[in-house]
A and B are shown apart, each in its own frame.
Chain A
Amino acid sequence: MSVQLWTYIIVGLTFALYIFIAIKSKAGSTKEFYVAGGGVSPLANGMATAADWMSAASFISMAGIIAFSGYDGSVYLMGWTGGYVLLALLLAPYLRKFGKFTVPDFIGDRYYSQSARLVAVVCALIVSFTYVAGQMRGVGIVFSRFLEVDINTGVYIGMAIVLFYAVLGGMKGITYTQVAQYCVLIFAFMVPAFFISFQMTGNPIPQFGMGSTINDGSGQYLLEKLNNLSTDLGFSAYTSGEKTVPDVLAITLALMVGTAGLPHVIVRFFTVKRMRDARKSVGLALLFIALLYATAPAIAVFAKTNLIETVSNKPYSEMPGWFKNWENTGLIKFNDKNNDGLIQYQASKNINELEIDNDIMVLANPEIADLPAWVIALVAAGGLAAALSTAAGLLLVISTSVSNDLVKKIINPSISEKSELWTARISASFAVLIAGYFGINPPDFVAAVVALAFGLAAASLFPAIVLGIFFKRINKQGAISGMLAGISLMLFYMMKYKLGWLGEMPEKSEWWFGISPEGFGTIAMCVNFIVSIIVSYFTSKPPKEIYEMVETIRVPESIK
Chain B
Amino acid sequence: MNSKKTKIAKLYWKKNLQYLFILLSVWAITSFGASILWKEWLDQFYFYGFPVGFWFAQQGSIYIFVILIFIYVRLMNKLDDTIDEEFNKSINTK
Q: Do A and B bind each other?
A: yes
Q: Which residues of A contact B (CB under 8 A)?
A: 66, 71, 73-74, 77-78, 81-82, 84-85, 88-90, 93, 207-208, 210-213, 221-224, 239-240, 245, 248-249, 252-253, 256, 275-276, 279-280, 282-283, 286-287, 290, 293-294, 297, 551, 554-556, 558-560
Q: What is the bound-complex CA distance between A223 and B41, given in angstroms?
A: 18
| Complex interface: chain A residues within 8 A of B47 (CB) | 211
| Complex interface: chain B residues within 8 A of A207 (CB) | 59
| Complex interface: chain B residues within 8 A of A77 (CB) | 57-58, 61-62
* Contact in complex: B87, A558 (CB < 8 Å): yes
Q: What is the bound-complex CA distance between A221 and B51, given in angstroms?
A: 11
Chain B interface, DSSP helix/strand/loop, else mixed:
helix
| Complex interface: chain B residues within 8 A of A85 (CB) | 23-24, 27, 65, 68-69
Q: Which of B9, B27, B43, B73 has a CB less than 8 Å from the CB of A559?
A: B9
Q: Which residues of B contact A (CB under 8 A)?
A: 5, 8-9, 12-13, 16, 20, 23-24, 27, 31-32, 35-37, 39-40, 43, 47-51, 54-55, 57-59, 61-63, 65-66, 68-70, 72-73, 76-77, 80, 83-84, 87
Could you write out 16 A-B pairs with CB less than 8 Å apart? A74-B54, A77-B57, A77-B61, A81-B61, A82-B27, A82-B61, A85-B65, A222-B49, A256-B31, A276-B76, A283-B72, A290-B62, A297-B58, A556-B12, A559-B8, A559-B12
Do A560 and B58 contact each other (CB < 8 Å), given the known contacts A212-B48, A252-B31, A286-B66? Answer: no
Q: What is the bound-complex CA distance between A487 and B94, given in angstroms?
A: 53
| Complex interface: chain B residues within 8 A of A211 (CB) | 47-50, 55
In the complex, how many angstroms separate the beta carbon of A68 from the nearest chain B beta carbon? 14
Q: What is the bound-complex CA distance between A213 and B66, given in angstroms?
A: 28
| Complex interface: chain A residues within 8 A of B12 (CB) | 554-556, 559
* Contact in complex: A279, B66 (CB < 8 Å): no
* Contact in complex: A224, B49 (CB < 8 Å): yes
| Complex interface: chain A residues within 8 A of B70 (CB) | 283
Q: Which of B27, B36, B50 has a CB less than 8 Å from the CB of A248?
A: B36
| Complex interface: chain A residues within 8 A of B61 (CB) | 77-78, 81-82
In the complex, how many angstroms separate the beta carbon of A62 from the nearest chain B beta carbon? 12
Do A78 and B35 contact each other (CB < 8 Å), given the known contacts A276-B76, A279-B73? Answer: yes
| Complex interface: chain B residues within 8 A of A282 (CB) | 69
| Complex interface: chain B residues within 8 A of A283 (CB) | 66, 69-70, 72-73
Q: Which of A66, A73, A559 has the most CB of B within 10 A?
A: A559
Interface contacts beyond A71-B54, A84-B69, A290-B62: sample of 4 additional A-B pairs, CB < 8 Å, sorted by A:
A85-B65, A252-B36, A286-B66, A297-B59
| Complex interface: chain B residues within 8 A of A293 (CB) | 62
Do A558 and B80 contact each other (CB < 8 Å), given the known contacts A71-B57, A74-B57? Answer: yes
Chain A interface, DSSP helix/strand/loop, else mixed:
helix
* Contact in complex: B80, A276 (CB < 8 Å): yes
* Contact in complex: B66, A82 (CB < 8 Å): no
Closest residue of B by beta carbon distance from A559:
B9
Q: What is the bound-complex CA distance between A554 and B62, given in angstroms?
A: 28
In the complex, how many angstroms separate the beta carbon of B48 from the nearest chain A beta carbon? 4
Q: What is the bound-complex CA distance between A331 and B51, given in angstroms?
A: 32
| Complex interface: chain B residues within 8 A of A559 (CB) | 5, 8-9, 12, 83, 87
Closest residue of A by beta carbon distance from B6:
A551
Closest residue of B by beta carbon distance from A42:
B73
Do A88 and B59 contact each other (CB < 8 Å), given the known contacts A223-B49, A239-B51, A554-B9? Answer: no
Closest residue of A by beta carbon distance from B48:
A211
| Complex interface: chain A residues within 8 A of B59 (CB) | 207, 210, 294, 297
Closest residue of B by beta carbon distance from A287:
B66
Do A558 and B83 contact each other (CB < 8 Å), given the known contacts A85-B24, A85-B65, A297-B58? Answer: yes
Do A245 and B36 contact each other (CB < 8 Å), given the known contacts A90-B20, A555-B12? Answer: yes
In the complex, how many angstroms separate the beta carbon of B73 from the nearest chain A beta carbon? 5
* Contact in complex: B63, A78 (CB < 8 Å): no
In the complex, how many angstroms separate the beta carbon of A284 from the nearest chain B beta carbon? 9
* Contact in complex: B9, A551 (CB < 8 Å): yes
* Contact in complex: A286, B9 (CB < 8 Å): no
* Contact in complex: B32, A249 (CB < 8 Å): yes
Closest residue of A by beta carbon distance from B8:
A559
Closest residue of B by beta carbon distance from A79:
B31
* Contact in complex: A78, B80 (CB < 8 Å): no
